[in-house]
Structure 1
Amino acid sequence: MVKSLLILKITLFFLKRFKMRRKKEHVAILKLLSQLRDFTSDNVFNPYRDICSIHDTEGAPNLRLSNLERYLTASLSLRIDAIWVGRDLGYRGGRRTGLALTDEFHLDLAAKSLNTDSFYKSTKTICVKERTASEVWSLINLLDEPPFLWNIFPFHPHEKNDSMSNRCHTKKEFHQASFFFLELMKIYKFNKVFALGRDASNELNYLGVKHSIVRHPSYGGQTEFRKTILLSSGMSIEERTKNYRLDI
Structure 2
Amino acid sequence: MNPASFVRALAALRQHNVFNPYADVCPVHDLSDAAAFRRRNLRSYLAAAKSIGVDTIWMGRDLGYRGGRRTGLALTDELHLTEMSKLYPGCESRQATKGPAVAERTAAEIWTILRSLDLPPLLWNVFPLHPHEPGNPFTNRRFSNAELREVEELNAALISWLGIKRIVAIGQDAARYASRFDAKVTTVRHPSYGGVMDFRDGMRHAYSLPAPRVAKPRQALLAY
On whether the aligned pair clears a TM of 0.5, the verdict is yes
Q: Distance in 2 between matches of 1:143 and 1:224?
A: 19
Q: In the TM superposition, what are the counterparts of 1:160-239 in structure 2 within 5 Å?
A: 160-206=134-180, 210-235=184-209, 237-238=210-211
SS in 1 for 2:138: coil
Quick check: 61-70 or 172-181, which moved more? 172-181
Question: Is structure 2 residue 59 aligned with structure 1 residue 85?
Answer: yes
Q: In the TM superposition, what are the counterparts of 1:29-48 in structure 2 within 5 Å?
A: 29-48=3-22
Q: Distance in 1 between matches of 2:79 and 2:192?
A: 17
SS in 2 for 1:96: helix
Quick check: 173-182 or 67-76, which moved more? 173-182
Quick check: 208-217 or 150-159, which moved more? 208-217
Hey, what does 1:100 align to over in structure 2?
74
> Which one has a bigger Cα radius of gyration?
1
Q: Distance in 2 between matches of 1:189 and 1:92?
A: 30
User: Aligned letter for 1:204?
Assistant: A
Q: Distance in 2 between matches of 1:157 and 1:148?
A: 21
1:137 equivalent among 82, 101, 111: 111
Question: Is structure 2 residue 213 aligned with structure 1 residue 242?
Answer: yes
TM-aligned CA deviation for residue 230 of structure 1: 2.0
User: Aligned letter for 1:93?
Assistant: G
Q: Distance in 1 between matches of 2:22 and 2:111?
A: 23
TM-aligned CA deviation for residue 65 of structure 1: 0.4
Q: Deviations over 1:124-160 (max 9, x none)?
A: 1322111100110011112222111000100000011
TM-aligned CA deviation for residue 117 of structure 1: 4.6
Hey, what does 1:7 align to over in structure 2?
none
User: Aligned letter for 2:58?
Assistant: W
Hey, what does 1:21 align to over in structure 2?
none
Quick check: 66-75 or 217-226, which moved more? 217-226
Hey, what does 1:153 align to over in structure 2?
127
Question: Is structure 2 residue 95 aligned with structure 1 residue 124?
Answer: no
Question: Is structure 2 residue 30 aligned with structure 1 residue 56?
Answer: yes
User: Aligned letter for 2:107?
Assistant: A
User: Aligned letter for 1:67?
Assistant: N
Percent of pairs with identical residues: 40
Call closer, same or farther: CA 1:120–1:72 in 2, change over 3 Å: same
Unmatched 5+ stretches in structure 1? 1-26, 244-248
TM-aligned CA deviation for residue 209 of structure 1: 5.5
More helix by share: 1
SS in 2 for 1:63: helix
Q: Distance in 1 between matches of 2:164 and 2:181?
A: 15
Quick check: 220-229 or 179-188, which moved more? 220-229
TM-score (norm. length: structure 1): 0.82
SS in 1 for 2:151: helix
Matched-pair contact (CA < 8 Å) for 2:133–2:140:
yes
TM-score (norm. length: structure 2): 0.90
Unmatched 5+ stretches in structure 2? 215-224
Quick check: 205-214 or 150-159, which moved more? 205-214
